[in-house]
Amino acid sequence: MKLAQRLMPRSITSQITFIVAVSVLLAVALLASVLILFIGPPANDNRAAIARIAEISRLARNASTPSERDAIISTAQRLDPQIRRVAIGELVPIKDNNGSLVPWLVERALTNQPDVELIADLRDPNGPESQVVMRLAGSEAMVFELRVDSPLWRMLLAPAALMATIIVVSTVLLSLYAVRWVVTPLAKVADAAASFGQTSLASEALARRGPQEIIQVTDALNDMRTRIRD
């Protein structure tokens, strides 16, 4: 306790600055923990879609014969009619003003899959708006439709949650600080000044507690009472 009091800044301004800094650090740590524990990208639905795309691409890419590859692709198309088999020469570059049609998290997840190859800079002009292009053996590719939630909400949620957490933590800590280190010592100083000369306890020196400014007021009141008694 004494060590904490020694490390605590002396003036009210420095103490408030210290509390705000601690609040920011606590808010960042709390928000980071929440994001890591409860918001793990990509979402579960996207993970299932990524696993399905990777598995179909892997099977078709590693087929031992063209007929086996045709059978795998036909089966996949019966399950998902949006899957397209195209020649790589039919693909067109993604325009710069449109950006990548594959969200970064999905692209990273597919890139890390073994035995598959993502074509991130080309798209099928006749395919779905949100699409993933996977390279097959030779000069062919498969186009998959992939609906993913926009990561925009993450970009907006994180700063908003951080600011809200900082405000809440700062408010709580500043309230505790005000009661513990400012209001209580000031109330005792006010009570001592009001009861001076009226009770036997009025002759006792006030304890030097609180920020530096309140301690200075306490010392001044103690000195004044001592001079008056003398």
CB-based burial label for 201 (10 Å; 0-12, 13-18, 19+)? exposed
- Whether residue 118 contacts residue 61, with contact meaning beta carbons closer than 8 Å, is answered with no
**Predicted pLDDT at 72:** 93
| Mean pLDDT on 132-138 | 87
Which is higher by pLDDT, 189 or 75? 75
Residue 196: is its pLDDT beyond 90?
no
pLDDT tens track for 10-65: 676 777 777 778 777 877 777 777 666 555 554 455 678 888 899 999 999 999 89
CA R_g for the chain: 34
pLDDT of residue 7: 56
Please compute the mean of the pLDDT values over residues 122-131 and round it to a whole number. 85
CA–CA separation, 33 vs 23, rounded Å? 15
pLDDT for 73-112, tens place per residue? Answer: 999 999 888 899 999 999 999 875 444 444 566 777 888 8
Is the backbone peptide bond immediately before 42 cis, with ω within 30 degrees of 0?
Answer: yes
- Average pLDDT of the chain? 76
Say whether pLDDT at 176 is over 90. no
Strand (E) or helix (H) holding 132: strand 131-135
Tell me the domains of the chain and their CATH numbers: 12-38+156-229 (no CATH), 44-145 (3.30.450)
Q: Cβ–Cβ contacts within 10 Å for residue 189, how many? A: 19
pLDDT for 97 equals 43
User: Which position has the token pair 């030779």?
Assistant: 138
Residue 16: name the closest of 220, 212, 226 by CA. Answer: 212
Quick: pLDDT tens for 207-221.
Answer: 777 777 778 888 888
d(CA 103, CA 99): 10
Above 70 in pLDDT, residue 134?
A: yes
- Nearest-CA neighbor of 170 among 31, 19, 32? 19
Q: Is the pLDDT of residue 185 over 60?
A: yes
In terms of C-beta density within 10 A (0-12 exposed, 13-18 middle, 19 or more buried), how is residue 193 classed? middle
Mean pLDDT score, 142-156: 66
How large is the average pLDDT for residues 111-129?
A: 87
pLDDT of residue 99: 44
Q: Which helix (H) or strand (E) holds 154?
A: helix 152-177
